[in-house]
Amino acid sequence: MKVFNHSLTNFGFVVTEYKKPLKIILSFAIVWFILQIIITVFVVVYFEIPFNLNYPLSIFNFLTYFSFQILLTGTSEELMYRALTITMLGIIWKNIIPKDKIRNLCLIAVSTLIFMFDHINFTFPSFQITYINYWQQITVLIFGLFYGWLFIKYKSVYFPMLAHNVLNGVITILTLILYLIFRYNL
């Protein structure tokens, strides 16, 4: 902030409007909830893929994982990929890409690509990918574009944080529900 002479508000730590972004986030979460049900059921049934959780199922494990998803991941990732990345690149690219719309599209695209890259596991010495989930990458692409748009549209990091945490919560709860349905044939 000192190097570029900017305050926290330049990094999105401000809320000027809240009703419209909250409606957009809620609508997006509902649409995603429905899409995830349809896609998951289709993939599991059509491709006969077993549906598993990433952790042994217990109340403690679920509540711990759920709390982590709705409190920490969105909060920390949005600081990194929207507030920091978009703001810093926006400052640097201001004179390089003079048109706001084109610059904003580039900022959203680059922050989303970095966000997607972070959701791939790899080793450094040989730079080999050790894990990549293509369904997750599609989800991260869609969500990254949405979070970037929210950040630029409302000039606040709080809305992408909220959206990220809500959508992680939706995914976590829906994953548990679908797991129970497929596991116990409910």
Q: Please check whether residue 99 lies inside any domain of the structure.
A: yes
Q: Residue 129 in 3-state DSSP?
A: strand
Structure tokens at 118: 């972070």
Q: Please check whether residue 61 lies inside any domain of the structure.
A: yes
For residue 154, pLDDT over 70 is answered with: yes
Question: Cα–Cα distance between 99 and 174 in angstroms, integer?
Answer: 41
**Which string of b and e fits 23-57 if b means at least 16 CB within 10 Å?**
ebbeebbeebeeebeeebeeeeeeeeeebebeeee
Q: What is the pLDDT of residue 1?
A: 61
Q: Please check whether residue 6 lies inside any domain of the structure.
A: no
The amino acid present at 149, given as its one-letter code, is W
pLDDT, tens digit, for every residue of 19-60?
Answer: 999 999 999 999 999 999 998 888 888 887 777 888 999 999
105 or 125: whose pLDDT is higher? 105
pLDDT, tens digit, for every residue of 66-111?
Answer: 999 999 999 999 999 999 999 999 999 998 998 999 999 999 999 9
Q: Please check whether residue 5 lies inside any domain of the structure.
A: no
Q: What is the pLDDT of residue 50?
A: 77
Q: Are strands 128-131 and 121-123 parallel, antiparallel or unpaired?
A: antiparallel
Helices (H), the chain: 19-46, 59-68, 74-78, 85-93, 100-118, 134-154, 158-184
Q: Please check whether residue 146 lies inside any domain of the structure.
A: yes
Contact 169, 66 (CB under 8 A): yes
Q: Please check whether residue 11 lies inside any domain of the structure.
A: no
Low-confidence winner among 7-11, 66-70, 173-177 (lowest mean pLDDT) = 7-11
Query: What mean pLDDT, rounded, does the chain reach?
Result: 91
Q: Which structural domain range is residue 134 located in?
A: 17-184
Q: Please check whether residue 98 lies inside any domain of the structure.
A: yes
Question: Cα–Cα distance between 176 and 186 in angstroms, integer?
Answer: 13
Q: Please check whether residue 7 lies inside any domain of the structure.
A: no
Global confidence as pTM: 0.90
For residue 8, pLDDT over 80 is answered with: no
How many structural domains is the chain composed of? Answer: 1
Q: What is the pLDDT of residue 97?
A: 92
